[in-house]
Structure 1
Amino acid sequence: MSTGVPRGLKDLLPILVLLVTLAYPFLVYLNIDAIAPYWFGALLLVMALLRLIVAGKKRQRSDWIITAVIAVFSSVMILLDSTVLLKCYPVMMSAFMGLIFLLSLRDEHNLIERFAVAGGKQPPAQASGYLQKLCIAWGCLLLLNSAVAAWTVWFASLAVWTLYNGLLSYLLMAGFIVIELVYRNYYKKKHNIVDE
C-alpha cells in the first residue's frame, strides 16, 4: 500500500534522519560561528516532518507527540535565533524521552512492552515486572543524560558540549544496552522464560 513517498526515498529517509541526528552536535560545533541558529531550527523542523512522513500509515500517537515537541522547540529556536537553544536540543530530547518512558508506566502497557509488541513479540506475563523496571531504568538514564547535557550547555566549552552530546552520551546508551542484554539473558534463564 502506497504512503505517497517513493519507495527508494522512503528507505533513504530514516537513514538520513538518523545521520543528521547523530551528526547534530558536530554540525553545530563546525558551523556555530558561520550559520545562524535559526537555520539549525529549520533543519530540525524539516527532519521532524520527514520522520513523520516516513512513519506513513503506521504513525503512532507518540510519533505525533514527538513531532509536535520538536516542531515547537524548532519554531522557538527559529524565532529567537538563540545559540543557547541550539545547544539545548539534546537536553530537550533526552528529558522528553525520559519522561515518556516514566509516564508510560501509568498506562496499561509501558513503552518497553509497546516496543516489544511493535517488533512482533508478545512479552510473557512473567516478564512484566522486569519490563517495568527496565522502563524505569531507561527513564532515569535519559533524565540523567539530560542533566549532564544541560551542564555542558551552561558550564562547559563548545568542544566539551560536542564531545559529550556527540559521542559520550551515545557510548553511555550503548553501554547500558549491552549490560541490559547480558542481564536479560540471565533473567530469562533464571525464570525459565522462552522466546516465542
Structure 2
Amino acid sequence: MRPTMLLLGVLAPLAFLACAAFGLPLWWAGIVLLPLALLRRDTRALARWIGLPAALLGALTLLTRAEWPLRVYPVLNNVAWLALFAWSLRHPPTVIERFARLSEPDLPPAGVAYTRRVTQAWCAFFVGNGLAALATGLWADSHTWALYNGGIAYVLMGLMFGGEWLIRRRVRSAHHG
C-alpha cells in the first residue's frame, strides 16, 4: 500500500472523529479527504476504486458543504474491500493466502484452506461493517456517525485482526505439535 493510501485510510477516520469531538461541521473532513485522495498515484484496482471516488466525494463535500458525500465514503470503502476479498475467493489465491505466503511460501494445503476461511470471515466483516456504515450514514446524527465510522469500526477491525491472530496460533500449534 502506498503512503498516500495509508494516510487516507488513517487520517479520514481521524478527521471524522476530530469534527465530532470539536463540534465542527462534518463537511470539514472533506478538507482531509480530497487532497489525500488526489495525491494517490497507485494504479492498482483497489486504489482506483477508492481513491478517485474518495476525491469526488471530498470535492462534493467541500463544494456543497453537505455531509452526505462524506457519509458515503465508509460504505464505499467496505464495498471495495468486500469486492477484492470476494473476487479472490473466486480467483485464488485469496488475499489472505497471499499475505500468508509472504512469511510462509510453502503453505501446506491445510494452511490454504484456513486462509480461505479467514478470507470468508473478512467478507462477512465487510458486509456487516458496510451495513453499519450505511445505517449510520442514513439515520444517525453526525456525532454517532463519526464515532462509529471514525472509531468503533476500527476497533472492531482490530478485534478481528487480534482474534484471527490468536486462532491462527492455535491452528498452527495443532498442526505442528
Does the 8 Å contact 1:152/1:161 carry over to 2? yes
Aligned alpha-carbon RMSD (Å): 3.0
User: Any gaps of 5 or more consecutive residues in structure 2?
Assistant: none
Q: What's the offset of the Cα at 1:84? A: 1.4
Residues 10-49 of structure 1 mapped to structure 2, 5 A cutoff: 16-29=7-20, 30=22, 32-33=24-25, 37=27, 40-41=29-30, 43-49=32-38
Using the alignment, how far apart are the partners of 1:120 and 1:106 within structure 2? 23
Per mean C-alpha deviation after superposition, the further-off stretch among 167-176 and 74-83 is 74-83
TM-score normalised by structure 1 residue count: 0.71
Residues 109, 69 of structure 1: alpha-carbon distance in 2 compared, 3 angstrom cutoff: farther
Identity among equivalent pairs (%): 24
Q: What's the offset of the Cα at 1:158? A: 1.8
Deviation per CA, 1:71-110, whole angstroms, max 9, x where unpaired?
4544555566542122221122122212221122111311
Task: Name the counterpart of 1:4.
Answer: none
Number of matched pairs: 174
Q: What's the offset of the Cα at 1:187? A: 0.8
Using the alignment, how far apart are the partners of 2:63 and 2:100 within structure 1? 39
Using the alignment, how far apart are the partners of 2:176 and 2:36 within structure 1? 43
TM-score normalised by structure 2 residue count: 0.78
Task: Name the counterpart of 1:145.
Answer: 129
Does the 8 Å contact 1:77/1:86 carry over to 2? yes
Using the alignment, how far apart are the partners of 1:86 and 1:65 within structure 2? 16
Task: Name the counterpart of 1:186.
Answer: 170
User: Any gaps of 5 or more consecutive residues in structure 1?
Assistant: 1-9
Matched, 1:134 2:118: yes
Deviation per CA, 1:52-75, whole angstroms, max 9, x where unpaired?
34x6xxx64433443244345445
Pairing partner for 2:146 from 151, 159, 162: 162
Task: Name the counterpart of 2:95.
Answer: 111
